[in-house]
Structure 1
């Protein structure tokens, strides 16, 4: 009976270990938070630990401006920020990812889903707050921002 109990415990531990490994990122260095911005569809998809969690409309660069493509890490973050370049416009929950380019909330929510910005990635303020909180929780070093065409 004692051997059966030991084998039963080993089986339970093996199953638990398998569940833990299934939840963890596939390899070391994989970002816990991945924000994918698709310029063609004007959508952001946010995954946490490899699992898609959110999909939101965004506004990126309008004609004559550029939203840079590539893979980035957050460089700096501000809960409250005002544009120094564009009329002191509010940019709540700003996550700067390349120089002056940021993901941030926008109060022009009717324009979300279509290009409208000078290059930043605009989100609904509530969605920007959610993303900002995720980056704070998991850390900028565990976050990747992917911008694709």
Structure 2
């Protein structure tokens, strides 16, 4: 009986290993409907921050991505050199980044990116650097 149990347990663990190993060390989970980001670091909720996603007529993509590249002092090539401090690009030209329009956080205001308070963007940027881009996941949902 113990041998059967051990075999079943072993097979179960082998089947679950891909799911366990693919869990990101850092997850930035954006809820568009509440305009919030929940940051999960090593499986624990570390922060919950207000964000701004796409305003009317614009679109923030939904889905899940790993961080693709980082740019500490980025300027938008699409929107008149607008400052995008501590940018974490996750899908083409879409990024999580700081904003100087702090009063608009908590409601849709961007052209599609996820805007954060500059202090929060700097913190997320440094966490992403520390865990590595491939270990950082961006999840955007309604």
Provide the TM-score with structure 2 as the length reference: 0.86
Q: Number of residue pairs matched?
A: 124
Partner SS state of residue 28, structure 2: strand
2:82 and 2:134 map into 1 onto residues whose CA distance is: 28
Q: Deviations over 1:87-144 (max 9, x none)?
A: 1100000001100000000010000000000000000000000000000000111111
Match of 1:104 in 2: 97
Find out whether 1:68 has 2:30 as its counterpart. Answer: no
1:95 aligns with 2:88: yes
> What is the distance in 1 between the residues matched to 2:103 and 2:21?
40
Pick the aligned partner of 1:58 from 51, 54, 76: 51
Unaligned stretches of 5+ residues in structure 2: 1-18
Partner of 1:31: 24
Moved over 6 A (4+): none
Give me the whole-angstrom Cα distance separating, in 1, the residues matched to 2:138 and 2:124: 11
Residue correspondence of structure 1 range 10-29 to structure 2 within 5 A: 27-29=20-22
Q: Deviations over 1:25-76 (max 9, x none)?
A: x822210001000000000000111100000000000000000000011111
Unmatched 5+ residue regions in structure 1? 1-25
User: Structure 1: how far apart are the matches of 2:60 and 2:21?
Assistant: 29
Distance 1:147 1:127 in 2: 17
- The equivalent of 1:82 in structure 2 is 75
Q: Is the partner of 1:80 in helix, strand or coil?
A: strand
Larger C-alpha radius of gyration, 1 or 2?
Answer: 1
More strand by share: 2
